[in-house]
Amino acid sequence: MSEYLIPIKLEPLEEGGYLATSKILQGLIAQGRTVAETMEIAQDVARKLIESCLDHGDPLPEGLAETKIDKIVVDAKIPISVAA
C-alpha cells in the first residue's frame, strides 16, 4: 500500500460548513459540516482519484509524491469548539 501527502486548501463557506480543494490533485473537491468531516471526505475523494489514475495507467499528477507514514510531521491549526 502506498501513501501520499496531498496539500489541500480548507476554507469556511458563507452558508456554513467547509470546502476542501487541491491545486495538486485536480478534481478534489470536498464539502462537509465540520473540519473533521470535510477532511475525511477529502481523503476519500483523493483516494478514489489516485486509484483511478493507477487503475487506468494514467500518470499521477505532477507534485504528488509517495511518502512513508513514519516520516510525516504536520504543523497545523485545528478549530476546537467548547461549550461555555
10 lies in a domain? yes
Instruction: Answer yes or no: is pLDDT of 66 > 90.
Output: no
Q: How many domains does the chain have?
A: 1
Q: What is the pLDDT of the chain when averaged over all its residues?
A: 87
Q: How far is CA 9 from the centre of its chain?
A: 8
CATH code of the domain covering residue 61: 3.30.160.250
30 lies in a domain? yes
23 lies in a domain? yes
47 lies in a domain? yes
Cβ burial of 30 (10 Å; 0-12, 13-18, 19+) is buried
Cell numbers for 53: 489514475
Q: Which domain holds residue 54?
A: 3-71
Average of per-residue pLDDT across 59-79: 74
pLDDT per residue as tens digits for the range 29-46: 999 999 999 999 999 999
pTM to 2 decimal places: 0.78
CA distance 62 to 7: 12
77 lies in a domain? no
